[in-house]
Amino acid sequence: MIVEIRHTRPFSLVKIANDLKRYLSNYYDVIISTNNYSPPKGNVIIAIGNPDQELFTIIRHSFGKRIIAYTVCEGVLRTPALWFKPYSKIITHVVPSKYVKEKYEAIGADVDDIIPHAIFNFGEPKKQNNKNFLYIGGYQYRKYPKYGVEAIKRSGIKPCVLTTKNNPYTKLFDTIITDYKLGETQIMDYYKKFSWYLNISDCEGFGLTPLEAMAHGMPLISPYYLPIYEYADSSFTIFIPTKDAWYEPFGWENIEHHIYNTDDMVFAIYKALDMSDNQFANMSENALKKAKMYTPDVYKKFVNLIG
């Protein structure tokens, strides 16, 4: 049995493809295709991506094979994405979160199961609140909404951010330019070094980096929206309330930005700065405990689907 993984271009999806290969290689011969236009070589094709032109190409070129689509989205699917509706009824379709499931079902697409992303590396609980902050995000506006950017300015902190060289917000941070070239071990070192994961993003399809941070004992500061609170809870997260949403056309979907108040984010940052070591250590233990629900064994569902 050869399982072939094909994916669209975003770095987060490349990571998911590599992680899935790492797990499934315990059961099958697994290859990752680098050419989505080439004839498929696998008996089973796992197509990973957003419902865009590239995913459409992967699925069309894979007909005649058994197809499992592992899709994501960050908002409301637009008319061009309706191509996926009939395909979802003749292939196996899985998604990583309840949030994504709701968005696909809203256009009439079938969803066969929810398989969350897995965590492969775990650290230790933290004992001391060093009052420093880490964030990981590319350059898109949804990663740096104006209310989050303003909160950083007003709070007086300067978090560390792992990002790309084309990020226009680097002056706000102690910036580490990765361009996605840091190895897994190097990224894990940052999770170990910092106390808090400061999630200012107002939109996620799953939110893998907050979950990775939890796996290294980092409590979270985050806006309260799906899918974040599918895995995060108040025992280790300082939540910021959200209210209305606004929508940004992006590709074949409307990105759903969950609006939060700058003052609430500033208050959450101050609360983290003032927190005692004992309370922080308790939150750290809770974060790590919850993250351990997302070990690589969550991918066993793929084995059950493939057979």
* Domains assigned to the chain: 2-114 (3.40.50.11930), 133-294 (3.40.50.2000)
- Report the pLDDT value the prediction gives residue 279, as an integer from 0 to 100: 98
300 contact partners, CB below 8 Å, separation of at least 6: none
**C-alpha angle 249/108/255, rounded to 5°?**
20
DSSP three-state, residue 259: strand
For the stretch 50-89, pLDDT in tens is 999 999 999 999 999 999 999 999 999 999 999 999 999 9
Instruction: Answer whether 299's CB lies under 8 Å from 24's CB.
Output: yes
Residue 177 phi, psi dihedral angles, 5° rounding: -85, 115
Per-residue burial over 16-36, b if 16 or more Cβ lie within 10 Å, else e, is bbebbbebbeeebebbbbeeb
User: Which regions in the chain score pLDDT beneath 50?
Assistant: none
Instruction: Answer whether 205's CB lies under 8 Å from 74's CB.
Output: yes
- Characterize the bridge pairing of strands 44-49 and 75-77: unpaired
